[in-house]
A and B are shown apart, each in its own frame.
Chain A
Amino acid sequence: SAVISQKPSRDICQRGTSLTIQCQVDSQVTMMFWYRQQPGQSLTLIATANQGSEATYESGFVIDKFPISRPNLTFSTLTVSNMSPEDSSIYLCSVQGQGREYFGPGTRLTVL
């Protein structure tokens, strides 16, 4: 199994600012995944972060809005840039192992 931590756990931000979310895993993993979960909705994959290369973004998500870093095999960051109220969501990172997915506790973001 994998233990994942995220920082911050929650934040309230002003429109137009940026927030960087950190994700730390207790073991080395090849890929990390970033999801968004809007209120009352399911999980939507934002991008897949592979160590040593650029992240792969899903349709509807772009690097300028959600830049991702993956400096090593246990850590990744997701930045939500130029935020608007529509970005208010829970942001989750995850890793996969043994045929299943392990999630962090999430970062609850509220944009005013």
Chain B
Amino acid sequence: EAQVTQNPRYLITVTGKKLTVTCSQNMNHEYMSWYRQDPGLGLRQIYYSMNVEVTDKGDVPEGYKVSRKEKRNFPLILESPSPNQTSLYFCASSLMTETEAFFGQGTRLTVV
């Protein structure tokens, strides 16, 4: 089954404790991206990747890092999480930027 898998689904952490949210896709897609979803603000792009070893900033990259060492994986790293990063996070992949994007189930992160 074609899918994007994120882990964990839920995470509560403390300010400053480094964390990683994993994302994996099995569709051999080149394009992957991370979004955060906040009430009233919709989906905002954090980082994206056009291919292996190619990443770039989206609209709200501050406080986040990503890596793309393999085509299927695109982890999101929060080196020092802060409460304003409490949000619902989605990973997505697509064959190209202007084709159907497949989203993961989401990761609800709470930073206290």
A complexed with B: no
Residues of B within 8 A of A (CB): none
